[in-house]
Structures are given as C-alpha cells and as structure tokens.
Amino acid sequence: MQCTRCGSRDYVKNGKFQRYQRYLCKECKCTFSDKVRKYTYADKEKCIEMYLDNAGIRSCARRMKCSPSLVIRWIREFSDKLRKNIESAADKLPDNQLPDIIEMDEIYTRVKKG
C-alpha cells in the first residue's frame, strides 16, 4: 500500500474510521485508508479521455455507471492539475510567459457562418 497523494510507502497507523484503518503519510502528512476504491485511476483517465473526445458528460457517466456530478468533479480535478503543471512549466520559460490556453465546452461547438 502507498500514499494516495504522493505515492510514498512511509506511513504510520492513524486510527480507524467506519471500520477502515486510517494511515498518515510521513512525507506529505496526508491521511488515507485501506478502503478499496470503486473507480480506479485508469477508470477516471478513461472517462476524461471520452470527455476530451467530445462525448457528453451524461454519456460518459452512463458508460462509467456513475453520476454526472462525479464526472464533472473528475474533470475539474484534471483541469486543476493541468493548470498547475502549465504554471510550473511557465516558470521555467524566459520572462515567465504563460502559453495561450483555449477553454472549450460542448455547448460552444456551433459556429455561425457569415
């Protein structure tokens, strides 16, 4: 078992919560449990890929057999991580120039001609 945030294997027991043992990571001070997750990181990645391939939120939720609000939460978590990665990469660029970002949504896919 490893920390869900940083992946470290250096942890100690930290009590119990609803029959599940809790652990405290010594490196990042994050708490986690030994409870089996219903959706793995691969499932989340698959769902986000479907969304990025222009599948709607509800259709992603139907295929993953979860709620649309959970899919939205996964997308927001992914976008926050992506934004942080872009900002950290921009720190390495000369003059701290951020790359241009275009945000798109399935609602704005129509373009009027003329």
> Is 103 part of any domain?
no
> Is 110 part of any domain?
no
CB 39 within 8 A of CB 67: no
CATH at residue 53: 1.10.10
pLDDT tens, the chain, 114 aa long: 888 778 788 999 999 988 899 999 998 888 988 887 788 888 999 999 999 888 899 999 999 999 999 999 999 999 888 888 877 877 777 765 666 666 666 554 445 555
> Is 98 part of any domain?
no
Q: Read off the pTM.
A: 0.59
Domain count, the chain: 2
The Cα–Cα gap between 32 and 66 comes to: 23
Q: By residue range, what is the domain housing residue 84? A: 38-91
Do 42 and 16 share a domain, yes or no?
no
